[in-house]
């Protein structure tokens, strides 16, 4: 299975994007800890770790098709947000960007008839459906709680159980 330059570049870029996602979620985690949302901070820490695993999966996939992974540049990341809802909305937006990126790589893999890459990427499409769904669920929950401090505390403690 020959890997086209275009497909290789797209896969390489995804490695950095996944590491970057870990960086984004760590920024959120730092904010959440500082804002006394201990449960949400712990939830976000796990989310960040998952992103590291995604990056590793891309590195391992590249290695399995005899391509040496490259690590691109990661920009500075913010640690300031405007409340729990703003964090979750930013997280959903970030996941949507990641989904788009994976869909773009999948389109190239399909066009190139690189079936191994296609299979590998489809698993990530499933993963993205789950990620987006979980953030949407949390956003609905926090919106429902509104300004009710007791309800927000309860949500935070539920998040801490992840």
Interface stretch with Fe ion, choices 25-33, 53-61, 81-89, 112-120 (CB under 5 A): 53-61
Q: Which is nearer to Fe ion, 20 or 42 (CB)?
A: 20
Q: If we measure between CA atoms, which residue out of 64, 75, 61, 77 comes closest to residue 12?
A: 61
Interface stretch with Fe ion, choices 34-42, 49-57, 63-71, 154-162 (CB under 5 A): 49-57
Q: Which is nearer to Fe ion, 52 or 153 (CB)?
A: 52
Interface stretch with Fe ion, choices 47-55, 63-71, 77-85, 105-113 (CB under 5 A): 47-55
The alpha carbon torsion through 7, 10, 12, 18 (nearest 10 deg) reads -140
Rounded to a whole number of angstroms, the minimum distance from the CB of residue 94 to Fe ion is: 9
Q: How far is CA 49 from CA 4, 10, 32, 44, 45, in A?
A: 30, 22, 16, 9, 6
Interface stretch with Fe ion, choices 50-58, 101-109, 111-119, 145-153 (CB under 5 A): 50-58
Binding mask 2-21 for Fe ion (x = CB under 5 A): ----------------x---
54 sits near Fe ion (criterion: CB under 5 A): yes
Count of residues that interact with Fe ion, criterion CB under 5 A = 3
Ramachandran region, residue 10 (left: φ > 0; alpha: ψ -120 to 50; beta: rest):
alpha
**Cα dihedral across residues 98, 104, 110, 116: positive or negative:** negative
Rounded to a whole number of angstroms, the minimum distance from the CB of residue 131 to Fe ion is: 7
* Position of minimal CB gap to Fe ion: 54
Cα radius of gyration rounded to whole Å, the chain: 17
Residue 72 tokens read as 């691109």
Positions touching Fe ion (CB under 5 A) are 18, 51, 54
């Amino acid at each position: 299975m020959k890997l086209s330059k275009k497909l290789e570049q797209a896969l390489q870029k995804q490695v950095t994007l996944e590491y970057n996602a870990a960086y984004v979620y760590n920024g959120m985690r730092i904010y959440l800890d500082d804002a006394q949302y201990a449960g949400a901070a712990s939830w976000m820490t796990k989310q960040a770790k998952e992103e590291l695993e995604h990056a590793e999966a891309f590195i391992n996939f590249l290695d399995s098709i005899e391509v040496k992974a490259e690590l691109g540049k990661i920009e500075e990341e913010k640690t300031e947000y405007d409340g729990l809802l703003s964090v979750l909305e930013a997280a959903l937006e970030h996941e949507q960007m990641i989904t788009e990126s994976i869909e773009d790589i999948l389109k190239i893999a399909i066009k190139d008839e690189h079936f191994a890459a296609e299979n590998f990427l489809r698993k990530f499409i499933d993963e993205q459906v789950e990620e987006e769904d979980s953030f949407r669920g949390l956003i609905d929950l926090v919106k429902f709680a509104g300004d009710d401090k007791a309800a927000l505390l309860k949500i935070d403690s539920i998040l801490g159980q992840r």
